């Protein structure tokens, strides 16, 4: 009678490093798992060796770590396509991975500098203000749409300097581009509304209209 090998638990069949030891592949009797080198070393070779039958807790941790690596890889693909806030990245990962896997993955990415909401929000604020000529109110709305928290926005608007000179030059450029060198009296209310829509205060908009026209 042919001998049958019965596998009642998760039994490791083979273990080998890949990507120069940055990752480890764990082949079992049921499926294949891939871990970060850090997780492999943390769990330890006394657990992850060929022939070992894992306990339920060990098998659960192995699955968690493997999912975490997949989540990290998926996150990096999103971030390579376009930098984004932690909140927006969470939304993209939602439904694809368990929440605790997402939490652990994003903590690793933040710790390695791949996610930095404050730095990204500051860079976007600079881009919107200097290059897109947006005013503070419009910038705040754009950043909020991108998923930045109110705390992050508060810190950005405390630290970023919206210089009076640049505010003036931005509004001047917007007006010249839209209306040219002259604005009729009937168009002045529209010009005022136009600047406010671009995120500038009513007072600043009214002031530059008086100066220029």
For domain 10-111, the CATH class is mainly alpha
Q: Which helix (H) or strand (E) holds 67?
A: helix 56-81
Which one is the CATH code of 116-161: 1.10.3720, 1.10.10, 3.40.50, 1.10.357? 1.10.10
**Residue whose tokens read 């168009």:** 187
Query: In sequence order, what DSSP letters do the residues of 77-114 get, joined into one string?
Result: HHHHH----HHHHHHHHBTTB-HHHHHHHHHHHHHTTS
Tokens of 107: 């903590």
- Look up the pTM and report it: 0.82
* Residue boundaries of the structural domains of the chain: 10-111, 116-161, 163-213
Q: Which of 139, 138, 200, 128 is nearest to 168 (CA)?
A: 200
d(CA 213, CA 205): 12
- The reply to whether domains 10-111 and 163-213 share a CATH topology is yes
Q: Measured between alpha carbons, how far is 145 from 156 in angstroms, rounded to an integer?
A: 15
In this structure, the chain runs to a length of 213
Query: Within 10 Å of residue 95's Cβ, how many Cβ atoms?
Result: 7
CATH tag, 163-213: 1.10.10
Beta carbons of 53 and 10 less than 8 angstroms apart:
yes
**pLDDT digit string (tens) for the chain, length 213 residues:** 444 445 568 999 999 999 999 999 999 999 999 999 999 999 999 999 999 999 999 999 999 999 999 999 999 999 999 999 999 999 999 999 999 999 999 999 999 999 999 999 999 999 999 999 999 999 999 999 999 999 999 999 999 999 999 999 999 999 999 998 888 889 999 999 999 999 999 999 999 999 888
């Amino acid at each position: 009678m042919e001998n049958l090998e019965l596998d009642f638990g998760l039994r490791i069949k083979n273990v080998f490093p890949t990507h120069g030891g940055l990752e480890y592949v764990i082949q079992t009797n049921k499926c294949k798992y891939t871990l970060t080198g850090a997780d492999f070393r943390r769990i330890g070779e006394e657990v992850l060796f060929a022939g070992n039958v894992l306990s339920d807790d060990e098998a659960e941790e192995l699955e968690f770590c493997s999912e975490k690596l997949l989540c990290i890889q998926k996150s990096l693909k999103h971030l390579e396509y376009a930098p984004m806030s932690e909140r927006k990245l969470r939304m993209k990962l939602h439904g694809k991975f368990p929440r605790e896997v997402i939490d652990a993955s994003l903590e690793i990415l933040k710790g390695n500098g791949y996610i930095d909401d404050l730095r990204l929000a500051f860079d976007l604020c600079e881009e919107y203000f200097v290059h897109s000529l947006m005013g503070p109110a419009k910038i705040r709305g754009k950043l909020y749409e991108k998923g930045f928290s109110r705390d992050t926005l508060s810190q950005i608007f405390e630290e970023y300097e919206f210089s009076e000179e640049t505010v003036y030059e931005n509004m001047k450029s917007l007006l010249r581009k839209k209306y040219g060198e002259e604005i009729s009296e009937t168009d002045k209310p529209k010009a005022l509304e136009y600047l406010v829509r671009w995120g500038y205060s009513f007072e600043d908009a009214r002031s530059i209209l008086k100066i220029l026209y």
